[in-house]
Amino acid sequence: MRGLSCSALRAPNIGCNLNLPHSHAQNEHVDGYASLPFLVVNVAAVDTNVDNGAMEILRGTHRSEYKYWQILLERPQRLRVNLRQGDVVIRTSTLWHRGMPNRTDKPRPMLAFTWEDGGSSREDPYDVHDGRITFLPNRFATDLKSRIREQAFVAVPSLGTAYHAVRSFF
Ligand SMILES: O=C(O)CCC(=O)C(=O)O
Ligand SMILES: [Fe+2]
């Protein structure tokens, strides 16, 4: 990754996307802020396919800055990233993508090495959270209000699409 990057990289931040059984599709998104792109390496911890929620990517969307409404209008080609255990995906944070439903009974882990702000500021990036595996919420917090919001977006996906489309105009 150091060889690929146009700026100096520290060690990456260490994470893992745990796509839980019977999850729902995320909204299409870029990671972090579009104005602050960073490199991402995803590693398949298990064989990953459409059944257990292989990520969907929107082809070519890292090449220019897309607003959500432009994604809806231009409809870039969508691809599922099917991976064998150990396969590596190298992408920028600004490639539009989303987690997809895991229709199996097993969680689908996918490692995420990310270089926001040039990478981890720790000597050992695995020291994060005192070196313990720590489960964190993702796009929605876990307080009651956030859970209701999440459930509403799950029940009526068009609500989320409309909300994000309107927000992306401003
Ligand atoms: O788990 C995935 O397939 C992708 C998750 C993702 O894009 C995210 O949480 O930002
Ligand atoms: Fe993401």
Any residues with CB less than 8 A from the CB of 48 and at least 6 apart, and which? 54, 55, 81, 82, 83, 108, 110
Q: How many CA atoms lie within 13 A of 119 on its CB side?
A: 16
Span from the CA of 17 to the centroid of ligand 1 (angstroms): 6
Q: What is the pLDDT of residue 46?
A: 98
Counting ligands in written order, which one lies closest to the CA of residue 107? 1
Q: Quick one: how far is CA 157 from the chain centroid?
A: 18
In sign, the C-alpha dihedral spanning 96, 135, 127, 48 is negative
pTM for the complete prediction?
0.94
Counting ligands in written order, which one lies closest to the CA of residue 16? 1
Q: Quick one: how far is CA 159 from the chain centroid?
A: 20
Span from the CA of 23 to the centroid of ligand 1 (angstroms): 12
What does residue 128 show for φ and ψ, rounded to 5 degrees?
-55, 145
**Best of 20, 26, 93 for a ligand 1 pocket test (most atoms within 8 Å of beta carbon):** 26
Ranges of the chain with pLDDT below 50: none
Q: What is the pLDDT of residue 73?
A: 96
Span from the CA of 3 to the centroid of ligand 2 (angstroms): 24
Regarding the beta carbon of 151 and ligand 1, being less than 6 Å apart is answered no
Between the alpha carbon of residue 82 and those of residues 26, 55, 89, 98, the distances in Å are 17, 8, 10, 14
Q: What is the pLDDT of residue 146?
A: 97
Q: What is the pLDDT of residue 154?
A: 93
Q: What is the pLDDT of residue 116?
A: 96
